Amino acid sequence: MDHDENREADVQIKEILDYYGGRGDRGAQETVVEMLRELQDVQGYLSPGILAAAAETAGVKESTMRAILKRFPSLKTAPYRHEIVVCLGKNCGGRNMEVLQELRRRLETGPDGISADGNVKVSTRSCLKSCRTAPNVMVDGEICSGLSAGEIFRRVEG
């Protein structure tokens, strides 16, 4: 973002926080999620500073914000472009552990699952609810069955 875009984003963020701060239901989970989605729309993700400001605006603890973020995976705390979710359920887990380890190695993910270049987030889920086509991995919201780590890597590195 250039200087003018940053200034415009700051104005939009302030307007969103002012609006939600004035609501009587500002601390209700639905309202907080609504506010977070609008804030995310401004810059593409929720930075630590924006999360702290949102918690203060809503009158809730930052631990409450973290709990909300876990319940709503569409809320992003980093500006990654791609998301890979590896299923570790009963039908997928055994075969997908190797895929997960290889993806983490190739992408050089940190403890937060974000790749070294910041473009990809790798996470796991206990079940993607597509057991008949196991093993499954979700790439950018699309269920992919039986792919190797190399095939998944090529989908996000392009």
Specify if 104 maps to a domain. Answer: yes
The yes-or-no verdict on residue 1 having pLDDT over 70 is: no
Whole-model pTM above 0.75?
no
Containing domain of residue 129, as a range?
A: 82-156
Residues 30 and 64 placed together within one structural domain of the fold: yes
Residues 21 and 64 placed together within one structural domain of the fold: yes
Of 26, 52, 71, the last residue of a domain is 71
**Alpha-carbon distances, residue 99 vs 54, 90, 108, 146 (angstroms):** 37, 15, 14, 10
The lowest-confidence range among 48-52, 73-77, 108-112 is 73-77
Specify if 77 maps to a domain. Answer: no
- What sign does the CA torsion over 66, 108, 145, 133 have? negative
Q: How many domains does the chain have?
A: 2
The CATH number for 112's domain is 3.40.30.10
Specify if 76 maps to a domain. Answer: no
Residue that is written with structure tokens 């709990």 in the block:
67
Q: What is the pLDDT of residues 135-144, one digit of tens each?
A: 999 999 899 9
Determine the 3-state secondary structure of 121 from DSSP: strand
